[in-house]
Amino acid sequence: MQIEQPFELVLFGGLGDLALRKLFPALYLLELDKRLPFGCIYAVGRRGYKSEEVKEKVKQAVFEQISPEYQDDDCWAVFAQRLKYIRIDVQDPKAFNVLSRELDEDCPNRLFYLATASFLYADITINLDSNQLISPASKIVLEKPIGHDLASAKAINKTVAEYFDESQIYRIDHYLGKETVQNLMVLRFANSIFESQWNQHYIDHIQISISESLGVEQRAGFYDQVGAFRDMMQNHLLQLLCIVAMEPPSKMEPDAVRDEKVKVIKALRPIEGKDIHDKVIRGQYGQGVSEGIPVPRYRDEAGVDDQSQTETFVAMKVEIENWRWAGVPFYLRTGKRLAERECEIVVQFKEIPHSIFSMQHKEAMANKLIFRLQPDEGIRLQLCEKKLGSGMNVRPMTLSLNPDNPSQDYMRSQSSGREPDTNRVRVPEAYERLLFDALAGNPTLFLRDDELMEAWHWVDPILAAWQDSDSTPEPYTAGTWGPAASTLLLAKDGRLWNENN
């Protein structure tokens, strides 16, 4: 698929945290790979900056995010020519005149990217329409979280749907753009050996964990209103769960894939009443040491309410009510200021029924398939092999697939401390892939309206119960793996989180 030219990308929230940390670096990398055809990028912001100032600011942000080998001044010069800054108060319809004057009314490929708080999505859409900026060929990207509950998400959807057809709406979840997530689909659906094992007969449980070592950084204003559940669980973790658990789609086509994901969300066992207390743990970080540096408690972070009850950690036990997954728990966990930055999906297979090898615990021999999304990407299958030498001693071994560096065994290169292979293939950033797909008109990795609504429908009772209850998030020390209750959640089932691998 190609991006039709000329294109116009209008980025609302154009100098916000997301734009500077993720979107511009991704766009620059597309430029570097010569994947952007002729077109313009308009960064829309509230403040009065000169375009030259903005270009400098964006360059600095982009070069801070990408490794030195990709910092190319010639490429930047080409990229900077596309970039224009436009000052608009998005709640003022008249302010959109400036945009009308800039945009080419005949542009065949116009993409509006809304990287602002979602309560502005309706205003932006209405103002685009009243300035005749939307055509049947326009597309709109909506960042997550869309709304703060089912009712607000429905309201936003309804307004946006008055001006854009569903086929023009791209609801983004950047975790779906990560290479290993796509590799997970290929591994599942392009290899016959896994399908026969991918069910309750062979899988004991699945863990999906996204841990971050960072705190709220400069995003306290946003985060304190949102919390870990809406920021990560309702979207990124649920989406990963869908990809792991869905039935094979009949085709690699947008609706075929999305139909299967919706079925998973609809099959999630509701968590309501007492189950909320038993199956969902929320925490908030206290002071501690993160990556060797003392850090303050969440409530002392700049911009956070000192009485805040916002959760910075969530762990939960989720069940899927269908034939494939009956009785297989999915343990999901995410949090800020945890021991490490890591994202893994761990498929834990059942123990062998009987061991013929003495001195071996059956549980130590159970196979694991680990999809690692962060900080490095790769897939590892843990198996058992015979120890070299006399006797029949068994030891664990790992088969690895590392997309970043296919020529090397991931585990061994880690432990030997060998230098990375300089000829390695660059793994595209998630936003790079998704921005390209949105500009090229491929919605496969974006959420459909029913998927989003089903996700809110499932999480709403949990959020409402927290809102109405006197209970508060459990404190945990920054730099650890979260509150003790999260360990207990698995311990009650005789299991452990997969840590320190």
Task: Give min distance, CB of 220 to ligand BG6, in A.
Answer: 11
- Give 8 or 212: the residue with its C-beta nearer to ligand BG6: 212
Task: Give min distance, CB of 174 to ligand BG6, in A.
Answer: 6
- Give 76 or 476: the residue with its C-beta nearer to ligand BG6: 476
- Give 204 or 212: the residue with its C-beta nearer to ligand BG6: 212
**Helix 150-163 with 121-130: angle, nearest 10 deg:** 10
Are 207 and 331 in contact by the 8 Å Cβ rule? The answer is: yes
CA pair distance 393, 84, nearest whole angstrom: 66
Beta-bridge partner residues of 293: 290
Are 8 and 39 in contact by the 8 Å Cβ rule? The answer is: yes
**Position of minimal CB gap to ligand BG6:** 231
Task: Give min distance, CB of 30 to ligand BG6, in A.
Answer: 17
Specify the DSSP element, H or E, that contains 73: helix 73-82
205 part of the active site: no
CA pair distance 313, 332, nearest whole angstrom: 11
DSSP per position, 110-150: EEEEE-S-GGGHHHHHHHHHHTT---TT-EEEEPSP-SSSH
Task: Give min distance, CB of 210 to ligand BG6, in A.
Answer: 6
One-letter amino acid at 79 equals F
Q: Contact residues for ligand BG6 (CB under 6 A)?
A: 174, 212, 231, 374
Task: Give min distance, CB of 445 to ligand BG6, in A.
Answer: 14
Place of tokens 């309206």: 449
**Nearest CA to 402 among 377, 370, 383, 369?**
377
Catalytic annotation, pick one of 201, 236, 354, 361: 236
Are 140 and 166 in contact by the 8 Å Cβ rule? The answer is: no
Task: Give min distance, CB of 212 to ligand BG6, in A.
Answer: 5
Alpha-helix residue ranges (DSSP H) falling in 217-303: 220-228, 238-245, 254-266, 274-279
DSSP category for residue 195? H
The residues carrying an active-site annotation are: 236
